Structure 1
Amino acid sequence: MDMPGQNEGSQPFVDRPIAVSAAFEGSEDIAAARDLARSFLADLRARHGLTVSARAEGMVQLVVSELVTNARKYAPGPCLLSLEVNEGAVEVTVWDSEPCLPVAQAADPGRVGQHGLEIVVAVCRSFEMHREPVGKRITAAVVLADDAVGDEGGDEVCR
Structure 2
Amino acid sequence: MREAKTTASDQGPETSVALDGDGTCIARARHLAADFLTRQAGHAVAVSARVREVVQLVVSELVTNAYKYAPGPVIMVLRITGEAVEVQVWDSHPGLPEARTADANRVGQHGLEIVKALAVGFEARQMTAGKCITVRIALTDGQG
Q: TM-score, normalised by structure 2?
A: 0.89
Q: Aligned equivalents of 1:99 and 1:124: distance in 2? A: 23
1:38 aligns with 34
Identity %: 50
Matched-pair contact (CA < 8 Å) for 1:88–1:143: yes
Matched-pair contact (CA < 8 Å) for 1:27–1:69: no
SS in 2 for 1:39: helix
Matching residue within 69, 74, 79 for 1:74: 69
2:47 is aligned with 1:62: no
Question: Which stretch shifts more, 119-128 or 24-33?
Answer: 24-33
Q: Figure out how many residues of one structure are paired with residues of the other and give that number.
A: 135
5+ long unaligned stretches in structure 2? 1-8
5+ long unaligned stretches in structure 1? 1-13, 149-158
1:135 aligns with 130
Please report how far the alpha carbon of residue 84 of structure 1 lies from its aligned counterpart in structure 2 after TM superposition: 0.3
SS in 2 for 1:71: helix
2:102 aligns with 107
Q: Aligned equivalents of 1:69 and 1:142: distance in 2? A: 18
Matched-pair contact (CA < 8 Å) for 2:33–2:56: yes
Q: Aligned equivalents of 2:79 and 2:11: distance in 1? A: 11
Deviations along 1:118-138, one digit per CA (max 9) or x if unpaired, are 000000010000000000000
Matching residue within 87, 95, 104 for 2:90: 95
SS in 2 for 1:18: strand
Deviations along 1:44-78, one digit per CA (max 9) or x if unpaired, are 12x11211122211100000000000000000100
2:89 is aligned with 1:83: no
Please report how far the alpha carbon of residue 15 of structure 1 lies from its aligned counterpart in structure 2 after TM superposition: 4.9
The code of the aligned residue for 1:137 comes to C
Q: Aligned equivalents of 2:11 and 2:65: distance in 1? A: 30
Q: TM-score, normalised by structure 1?
A: 0.81
Once superposed, what is the RMSD of the aligned Cα atoms?
1.7
**Residue 120 to residue 16, structure 1, CA distance change in 2 (3 Å):** closer
Task: Name the larger-Rg structure.
Answer: 1
Please report how far the alpha carbon of residue 17 of structure 1 lies from its aligned counterpart in structure 2 after TM superposition: 2.6
